[in-house]
Amino acid sequence: MNDIKVSLPDGSQRALPQGSTIFDLAASIGAGLAKAAIAGKIDGSLVDLNTLLTDGAKVEIVTEKSPEALTIIRHSTSHLMAQAVKALFPQAKVTIGPAIETGFYYDFDVDHPFTPEDLEKIEEKMRELAKADLKIERRELSGADAIALFRGMGEDYKVELIEDLGAETVSLYSQGDFVDLCRGPHLPKTSFIKAFKLTSIAGAYWRGDEKRAMLQRVYGTAFADKKELDAYLARIEEAKKRDHRKLGRELDLFSFNDEVGAGLVIWHPKGAMLRTILEDFERKEHLKRGYDIVLGPQILKTELWQRSGHYENYRENMYFTTVDEQSYGVKPMNCLAHMMIYKSQLRSYRDLPLRYFELGTVHRHERAGVLHGLLRVRGFTQDDAHILCTPDQLDVEIKGVLAFVADVMRIFGFEYEMELSTRPEKSIGSDDAWELATSALLSALKDSGRPFEINEGDGAFYGPKIDIKLRDALDRRWQCATIQCDFTLPERFDLTYVDADGEKKRPVMVHRVILGAIERFIGVLIEHHAGNFPTWLAPVQAIIVTVTDNQIPYAQRAFDTLRAAGVRVQKDFRNEKLGFKIREAQLQKIPYMLVVGDKEVESGLLAPRYRDGKNLEGMTPDQFVSFIETEVKSFH
């Protein structure tokens, strides 16, 4: 029998007997690699360790240090958790259990709602099953046989999944007496699962449909070793302290109320001030870069949403109303009004580019199960802009937005990552238009010199996009800025300009946001800073605190001076002990406490104290105003 030859990542080739697996290849290279191997890649596709090799294949060994390892470990751990649940709660029905960015989850249909005590029992059973060193084995069955198998097991959700797949064959994975429907790949044995923790319980509708069964979702995480797990759990504990919903209540920034409606934010004075600071910053930065500020209506006729493609491709996320027997759509995006502004007069190539900016409030029908504080709401305001330009100007405009993003992220102190999202299955427009748009974004990304990833099939329905994900203080990623290139909507709305040759031409439209949803960005800011906003962003920059009632007249004059100069200042003249008032101000995370006692009254000074307890030298009210102005300017 002839040997087969496979290629390794370094370009070398290796000969192996026919019937050899990924593991055999690893063992032929070295015992250490064989011990470290957890999976493999054949011609770029992830596969199990026991997958047979074929002649001419390009092969890579996946170890715990490989970029793909964590997903495999977490997916295998989700199966281990499902096996443990079935062992402890035999009547539970299993649904789906994917790996996610922070770990994994699995959804179960159970009569008995899980408790924290149940999680401890499940975790203990998982450890027992991991130590049992069960083989994780893959097999393929026909769709019909797989349906019969799961129907016999009473696993109705698996039957539904297979029926919807409509595939001739499906793959199953088994470990001990547990069988699951899965594409894989997985670890070779349960003993490879070493460091995991179940973290929380939540409700989740089957397939995200509020009309379907409510399931119990168990979240967990897993890592290659305990050190990584412990570091992650420490970050989780810190994240709980920084939770923007908790801090939003404590700092009196915003609230939600069931009487008002789910996903609708009520901004309190300090929260509204924080928004105003951000919005004023946005207007200033956009005007500096040649944007015109515009405003569109909240509702537009449904016919417009039909023409744009939103009605066909996005209506499940929209709200509709009827006025004077005319159907209207509540806007989920701002682009339609901006195109109407463009169409309001004849445009010349000399007018372009036109950059329309709107702090546009939009409403989207998000499912109740995905709403999450400020991070996922139904009503929000975007720093939305649309650039209409000639095809020749497109490269410069995209690069201009990328530079804008870089400037703003620097001001806020965020590192960020970028990815190019390409055409989704549900989309409008010609292949040529999508190719032109994708090429334009790709070229600008390459010229930027920054690394980026390709996210296949996740573009907007009208065009590809660059997504910018910022990294916060806990190294979490948040989607904020996006740049979308659109040749399709200008065609649908017959947008034109007169070129130098006197002919009518079609402009290109760039949809873009910088911070994204203001609500979401504020949620990220709260957690990033743990509520300790830098002075330029703090809704309250300073508070004047008196020692006794004797200092109130002087303290009031100082307060008036600071407020007239634009310092966001509060006062605490209550008849309380100074230490109590200082602690309250620290809990409110106010950057500066200005103490006024008899000494300060006599000298005409204020005694500034930073929120971390550090005391500064005495200053007159005017000197403190200059001090704050200098600090604020340093952030820009």
Q: Rounded to whole angstroms, how far apart are CA atoms 506 and 430?
A: 15
Alpha-carbon span 191 to 298, nearest angstrom: 57
Q: Which residues pair with 107 in a beta bridge?
A: 217
Question: Rounded distance, CA 458 to CA 454, Å?
Answer: 10
Q: Angle CA(101)–CA(106)–CA(110) in degrees, nearest 5?
A: 155
- CA dihedral of 67, 73, 76, 77, whole degrees rounded to 10: -140
Write out the residue limits of the CATH 3.10.20.30 domain(s) in the chain: 4-63
Q: For residue 401, is pLDDT > 80?
A: yes
Helix (H, G, I), strand (E, B) or coil at 635: coil
pLDDT digits (tens, 9 = 90+) for 595-619: 999 999 999 999 999 999 999 999 9
Q: Which residues are catalytic?
A: 335, 364, 382, 384, 386, 465, 511
- Domain 69-242 homologous superfamily, CATH: Threonyl-trna Synthetase; Chain A, domain 2 (3.30.980.10)
Q: What is the pLDDT of residue 1?
A: 55
**For all residues of the chain together, what is the average pLDDT?**
94
Which is more confident, 137 or 462?
137
Q: Are 210 and 367 in contact (CB under 8 A)?
A: yes
Mean pLDDT of 276-298: 97
CA 86 – CA 218 distance, rounded (Å): 13
Specify which residues 320 forms β-bridges with. 329
Residue 507 DSSP code: P
pLDDT of residue 593: 97
Alpha-helical segments (H) within 373-532:
394-412, 431-448, 488-492, 518-529
C-alpha–C-alpha distance, residues 592 and 614, integer Å? 10
542-634 falls under which CATH superfamily? Answer: Anticodon-binding domain (3.40.50.800)
The pLDDT score that the predictor gives to residue 126 is 97
With tokens 């890649």, the residue in question is: 41
Whether residue 171 contacts residue 182, with contact meaning beta carbons closer than 8 Å, is answered with yes
β-pair type (497-498, 504-505): antiparallel
CA distances to 254, 317, 532 from 378, rounded to whole Å, are: 15, 10, 27
Look-up: residue for tokens 């909507």?
Answer: 489
Boundaries of CATH 3.30.930.10 in the chain? 260-297+334-529
- pLDDT score recorded for residue 429: 85
DSSP code string of 341-373: HHHTS--BGGG--EEEEEEEEEE----GGG-BT
Q: Residue 522 burial (CB < 10 Å; 0-12/13-18/19+)?
A: buried
Q: What percentage of the chain exceeds 70 in pLDDT?
A: 100
Q: What is the 3-state secondary structure (H, E, C) of 538-588?
A: CCCCEEEEECCHHHHHHHHHHHHHHHHCCCCEEEECCCCCHHHHHHHHHHC
Please list the residues that pair with 607 across neighbouring strands. Answer: 595
Backbone angles phi, psi at 162, to 5 degrees: -65, -40
Q: Does residue 310 sit in helix, strand or coil?
A: helix
* CA pair distance 382, 296, nearest whole angstrom: 13
Out of 3.10.20.30, 3.30.70.890, 3.40.190.10, 3.20.20.140, the CATH code matching 4-63 is 3.10.20.30
On whether the CB atoms of residues 203 and 181 are closer than 8 A, the answer is no
Q: Return the exposure string of 344-358: e unless at least 16 CB atoms fall within 10 Å of the residue's CB, then b.
A: eeebebeebbbbbbb
Residues with Cβ within 8 Å of 259's Cβ and at least 6 positions away in sequence, in order, are none
Enter the tokens of residue 390: 């000639």
Residues in the chain: 636
Residue 600, token pair as written in the block:
């300060």
Tell me where in the chain the CATH 3.30.980.10 domain(s) lie.
Answer: 69-242
- Is the pLDDT at 153 greater than 90? The verdict is yes
C-alpha to C-alpha distance for 135 and 119, rounded to whole angstroms: 24
pTM for this one? 0.80
52-98 pLDDT tens trace: 999 999 999 999 999 999 999 999 999 999 999 999 999 999 999 99
Quick one: which of 447, 448, 451, 435 has its CA closest to 485? 435
Whether 151 shows a pLDDT value over 90: the answer reads yes
Q: Tell me the C-alpha distance between 207 and 360, whole Å.
A: 31
Are residues 203 and 219 in contact, defined by beta-carbon separation less than 8 angstroms?
A: no
Start-end of CATH 3.40.50.800 domains in the chain: 542-634
Helical axes 269-288 vs 518-529, angle rounded to 10°: 110
Residue 509: which H helix or E strand, with range? strand 508-517
Q: Classify residue 53 by its DSSP letter.
A: P
Q: What is the pLDDT of residues 94-136, one digit of tens each?
A: 999 999 988 999 999 998 889 999 999 999 999 999 999 999 9
Q: pLDDT tens digits for 526-584?
A: 999 999 999 999 999 999 999 999 999 999 999 999 999 999 999 999 999 999 999 99
Q: What is the pLDDT of residues 310-340, one digit of tens each?
A: 999 899 999 999 999 999 999 999 999 999 9
Query: Averaged over 178-203, what is the pLDDT?
Result: 94
Q: Are strands 415-421 and 465-471 parallel, antiparallel or unpaired?
A: antiparallel
- For domain 260-297+334-529, say whether CATH 3.30.930.10 is its number: yes
- State yes or no: pLDDT of 2 exceeds 80: no
